[in-house]
Structure 1
Amino acid sequence: MIPVTLRDLLRTVLFLLVITGIWWNVPSRAANSSQNPWGGNYFPNVPLVTQDGKQVRFFDDLIKGKVVAINFIFTGCSAACGMETARLRQVQDLIGPERMGKDVFFYSISIDPDNDTPEALKAYAAKFNVGPGWTFLTGKQKDIDLLRNRLGLYMPPVDKEKAKLGEIDHDLAVIIGNQATGRWQKASPMENAEVLATQLGSWLSNWKVKPAQQNPSYANAPVRLPELSKGEEMFRTRCVGCHTVGQPNESARAIGPDLTHVTRTRQRGWLVRWLKEPDAMLSEKDPIATALYEKYNKIAMPNLKLTDGEIESVLSFLEKGSAAFQAANSAKK
């Protein structure tokens, strides 16, 4: 006979409780703000300076009792910071001015405080037409490194010149959280903007979801999930924060041009090189690249380190998207 230990007996009891649905409710630590572990004892209340030169404290002034999105950038970045900022600008637009700065707050903190003065951050925010409720911050390097550590976004620094060439020395992630409830999570800044907006909004007590979305029926689910081409997948995750396809009448808040028929209006060789090394073309003062840079608030096209195959996939998607847009317009006539 095999002896039964107390540990074995407890495991058996717990297993039976789980499979029979018999359980008890354990009060959430986050439900009681006094027991919330993610409070002032965890988050450092370090001093920071806003893009307007205002002195603030991280915990007391920025996150205490608020729903927030926090990321780390530096204005000299020619790689992913611009894409990240553009995607969050989309999220800001979806949340809307009636909630931004009242129910939801965005914070972008520089990891290069030696160069990112309040004036530099203000100019950077203006390039992306950032609205109220989104604050750009700088401070002392040791304080910023401490925040990155506590938020789980610290990476050892690399030489700033290498970073400008695309070597990333910071975690490309957004931390979203509700400090009042102690609910925090890391999200990709390349995530769909509607998904990010919904994640933030779902933590608000007065967030309203359309009834059709509250209890979706499996009967209405698609038989098969849509299959994305490699080019469309890359466009949705890398390009859609700045560009559109099929919206040629650009708004005043456009970060980059609509790309409908771009494969017709630009030589393919130029497009291939532009997707491969836009930083080099801007440095060489290529006339088309320079004109685009000047037209769109001097926001540099990031070098995404795309392979030749990835570039061809993106161009193929743009061709198909442009053709679909033209066909839809013709059908309306």
Structure 2
Amino acid sequence: MRRGAALAAAALAISVASLARFTPAEDKAPPRVERMKVGGVSREDDAAAEKYFTNTELVDQHGRVHRFYEGLLRGRKVLINFAFTSCKGACPTMTANLARVQELLRARGERVTLLTITVDPENDTPAALKQYAARFKASEGWYFLTGAPANVAAVLRRLGGQVRRPEEHMMTLLVGDTSTGVWLKTFATEQPETLVHLVQHLNDPQ
């Protein structure tokens, strides 16, 4: 691997791993939005991203198996959050908010993939996730993901979303474009119009 690609891989690992230290519950909250550059579009950088995110298999609400990076991230703009179907706290609010975001993005012609990854794979079966998705009228392009607990845990670790108990999950929303390597970190409860603006201007020069 060329030196530039190696540096990109290191930046990717450091930037994404740092999300594990972020939680809205902390006394000193970080900025509402944090921008992270994690690589470009070269073949080497894509390989580094694939190695970092991994192709761990997850299962969506329709029972379809996906390889995480190859099938759900590569070449896409994505929104990623963490939730579980029996949540009585923030999850319904986050999911309803993201449903509005999806609606606004579709109206503006933006092709964006939404990924909601369960933090409770022991109980969140594809059937449970399908019912949950229908409750919020999730449209095509929104994947509610579960799988073998070890697989889900592996992906959550990569994204900084692993918790000891489901109710401790974060309200983090990751906004990324794997074709450019730019990622943002904000809250899934942010105003829908604000989140849409972030998506549409994700790759603007800084």
- The verdict on a shared fold, with TM-score over 0.5 as the criterion, is yes
Smaller-chain TM-score bracket: 0.7 to 0.9
The structure with more radius of gyration: 1
Aligned identity (percent) is 36
Q: Distance in 1 between matches of 2:107 and 2:191?
A: 20
The 3-state SS of whatever aligns with 1:148 is helix
- 2:135 is aligned to 127
Q: Any gaps of 5 or more consecutive residues in structure 1?
A: 1-27, 206-333
| Counterpart mapping for 1:72-221 below 5 A | 72-96=82-106, 99=109, 103-155=111-163, 157-158=164-165, 168-203=167-202
Q: TM-score, normalised by structure 2?
A: 0.74
TM (norm. structure 1) is 0.47
Residue 67 of structure 1 contacts residue 203 of structure 1 at CA under 8 Å; is this kept in 2? no
Note if contact 2:180-2:203 (Cα within 8 Å) is conserved in structure 1. Answer: no
Q: Which residue of 2 aligns with 1:71?
A: 81
Q: Residue 98 of structure 1: CA displacement?
A: 6.9
Following superposition, the deviation at residue 74 of structure 1 comes to 0.7
Q: Give the aligned partner of residue 48 of structure 1.
A: 58
Instruction: State the one-letter code of the partner of 1:83.
Output: T
Cα pair 2:41 2:181 within 8 Å, conserved: no
Q: Deviations over 1:177-202 (max 9, x none)?
A: 01111111211012111111111122
| Rounded Cα–Cα distance in structure 1 between residues aligned with 2:70 and 2:113 | 14
Separation in 1, partners of 2:186, 2:173: 5
What SS class does the counterpart of residue 134 from structure 2 fall into? helix
Corresponding residue for 1:321? Answer: none
Aligned partner of residue 175 in structure 1, secondary structure: strand
Partners in 2 of 1:181 and 1:51 — Cα distance? 28
Q: Cα–Cα, structure 1 residues 97 and 119, in superposed 2: closer, same or farther, change >3 Å?
A: farther
Deviation at 1:34, TM superposition (A): 2.7
RMSD: 2.1
SS of alignment partner, residue 30 of structure 1:
coil
Alpha-carbon separation, structure 2, partners of 1:192 and 1:86: 11
- Counterpart code for 1:184: W
Distance 1:193 1:59 in 2: 26
SS of the residue corresponding to residue 187 of structure 1 reads strand
Q: 1:204 deviation in Å?
A: 6.8
- Secondary structure of the residue aligned to 2:39 is helix
Once the two structures are TM-superposed, the CA of residue 36 in structure 1 deviates from its matched residue by: 2.7
> Is the contact between residue 118 and residue 138 of structure 1 (CA under 8 Å) also seen in structure 2?
yes
| Unpaired segments ≥5 residues, structure 2 | 1-36
Q: CA deviation at 1:115?
A: 1.3
Distance 1:127 1:76 in 2: 13
Distance 1:39 1:179 in 2: 8
1:61 aligned partner: 71
Higher strand share: 2
Once the two structures are TM-superposed, the CA of residue 153 in structure 1 deviates from its matched residue by: 2.2
Aligned residue-pair number: 167
Residue 86 of structure 1: CA displacement?
Answer: 0.8
State how far apart, in whole Å, the 2-side matches of 1:136 and 1:99 are: 22
**Structure with larger RCO (C-alpha < 8 A, sep 6+):** 2
